[in-house]
Each structure stands twice: as C-alpha cells, then as structure tokens.
Structure 1
Amino acid sequence: MVLMESVLSPKKRRTQEERSTETKKRLLEATIDCLNELGFNKTGTVEIARRAGVSRGALVHHFPSKHDLIVATAEYHWNRITEEVRNLAMTMHGGQLSLDAFIDGIWNKVFLIRGSSATIEMIIAARTDSKLRRELVPMLNRLYSNYDEIWSQFFHNSGVSPERIEMLFDLTIELLRGMTLQRVLKDEPEYYQKFLESWKTIIATCLIEEKKS
C-alpha cells in the first residue's frame, strides 16, 4: 500500500521562486568558475550561461549585464565566507577549536577555496572600473565589519582591549590575503605554512603581553 501510494502520489513541483533561486545560484557559481579559470576580462555572459545550463535570455532576466552579475557574485561569495568565519568562531567559543585551528580554518575555508581567486579578479578589475569599485567598496567594508564583530564577540571579557583584538584580526586577514595573491606566482603550501605558524606565535605573544599590561 505504501509503495502504491508513493507511485501514485505526484512529485511535488517546485515553486517559481524556488526555480528562480536555483537558477540564480547556478549562474553565480558559474561566474565564480569562469573568474577562476578565465580571469575577469575573458569572463562573459555567454560562457557563464553555458556553464550554468541556462539560456542567455534566462541570464539576462536575472542579471541584465555582466556588471550586475559580478556584483551579485561578490555579495553571494562574501556572504558565504562570512558564515564560514562565524561558524569557526562559534566552534572556537564552544571550546572545540583552538585559536591556532581557527586561523588555519580561515586560511583553508576562506582563502584557499575556489572563490578566493574570483575575489582577486574582481578587486583588481575594480581598480580601473570606477562603477564596479563604487559597488564593491561598501560590500567589502561590510564584510570586514562582520569579521571584526565576530572576532571581537568571542574575545569579550578576555582581558584584551577591543582595539588590540581588532588590530590582530585585521592583520591576520591582510596577511592571509597577501599570501593568497602571492600564491599566483609561488604556489608552495609549505612556504605559506611557515608564515602561518610564525603568525600564530606572534598573536599568542601579543595576547599574553596585553593581558599582563
């Protein structure tokens, strides 16, 4: 009887909103892939639509121009990595993750993922594209503001000043981004791991000294 009911019961159809959301996600993921593999200049809407498996008309319906698609991709990717950092911080706050492991997690789950190269492509393009820069700058500022909030939240009542906490996290992000860019020319994991280990020691020392003062 159960088998018969499952056969006869029609499969629930997705709503228009669900289909639209899925199409947008496929387009955004395809844009990330194109930016990673082709670079900003060679990334075009025709290739993005092909990789996403949708028509050019469907792409234009959701994103009228390449500019709109790039901006949406930046927001999509940066929102996703914000959640990654938040999850790592919550795990650390719960005592399941050390500060060293937290830094490793940011490196592996934010800067070594496929979207990191796409981010570099978008930021470099924004240097000479004032319209794109005007859109990306406030989004990037929000991203860093979220980072600072997450980081500070889990060092609350630690005895370390908020200013020192913010500075250490900002330095961590800048170091990791610089390493990501350098990997384009020097892709040697062991080389960057040495920097990470040294930076962990520096942070630990700074935190200890701050608590003593």
Structure 2
Amino acid sequence: MSLSMRVFAVQLDMLHDAVGSRDEKLVQRISRYSAEAWSSEDDYWSDEIADGAPTSSAALRAVIDGGPFDEHYGHRYRWAYQNICEFLFADYGMSDEYFSGFRSGWLEDVGKGLEQLGITTAQLSNLVYLGSPALLPGSEGLQSGEWDNATCRAGLDQWHASTPEQRAALHPEVLGAVVNCVGWMAEVVALSDQLSEEYGVAAFFG
C-alpha cells in the first residue's frame, strides 16, 4: 500500500481557530477555491456519500461550524481540515520528497533515524498523529498532526548537535528523509524570524 504526506508551514493558532469559528466568509472563500478539487473528491467517494457520508462542502461546513459530526466519517472532516490548511497557507507547502508514495513502516524507520541522531523533541509520530483539534472525530483514514515552533527550534538544535559519524551510520534513504524533516524545521524557524510570527509544521498523512 502506497502512502503519502503533505506538509505545510502554518500559523497553528490561525489554523486551529478556523475550526468551530462559524466564519461564513471563510466557508464561501474556501468553497470557491476548492470547487474543482471537491468535484473530483466527491466523485471518488460517491458510493460512500450515497450511504450517508457528507459531501466535501458539507464536511467543511461542519468543521467550521464546530459540528454536528457523524463519527462514522471522520476522514471526511479531516479532509475538510486539510482544505482549510491548503487555503489559508497555499503558498507555504513544503517539500515532501521522501514522503510521497512511501511504503508502510517507512515513518517508523525515519522516526528511529531521528532518534539515533538525538532528535527526540520533534518526534515524527506527533507530526503524523497528534496536534489536530480535539473537536474533530477520529479518523482511520487521513491523519493529521503538527510540530509547534518551539519543537522545531529544539529539533533543529538537536540536529546541529549530531555528529557526521552519527549521520553516516544511517541508511542513505533514511538520512535523506531526516534531512527532509530538518528542512521543515529550518523553514518554519526562518519564516517565523523573518515575519515575526510563530509558524509551525502541519502534516496530513494517508
């Protein structure tokens, strides 16, 4: 089974605050922005929608209104949350070079690689599974998580403290993925310092 991850530099407070905001203008703006993608998405899930799953539009409305949610379709609301992120931070997508079309178990391998270099603050499992608004139902499909700004700064310091020997001991593909992760940390730290705003990393995996 092939998996993939999309990663963004985001202002986490802004992203979180959109959930349950009841912001009608935001609903309308995202609806216009996502119309073409929603058409394809709803075609793909047409059988499930026929059985009662929310359309992309209805899922977005539920997430921004703070409910109601149908617990059976958590992945649809998580997809709507990703739509919000893609809209608000469309210009801040980050490289997923080592996280596009990967095998099951790859994230665990990269997580171990980070740990072997002493990068314990920025845990890959948190980026994939933790940090999304608790308001959203659980999802067995699309997952989401995040690293806040402090996590990225600490992880970057730990990377700089690692030695060339430690890095050389990793499998080249794992090291490449670790460098990809470190690039995310460096990018949000640089963006935060440049704009005097706190940015973190938001990721969507499935």
> What's the TM-score once normalised by structure 1's chain length?
0.27
Compare the two structures and name the one with the higher helix fraction. 1
Compare the two structures and name the one with the higher strand fraction. 2
Relative contact order (alpha carbons < 8 A, sep ≥ 6): 1 or 2 greater? 2
> What's the TM-score once normalised by structure 2's chain length?
0.28
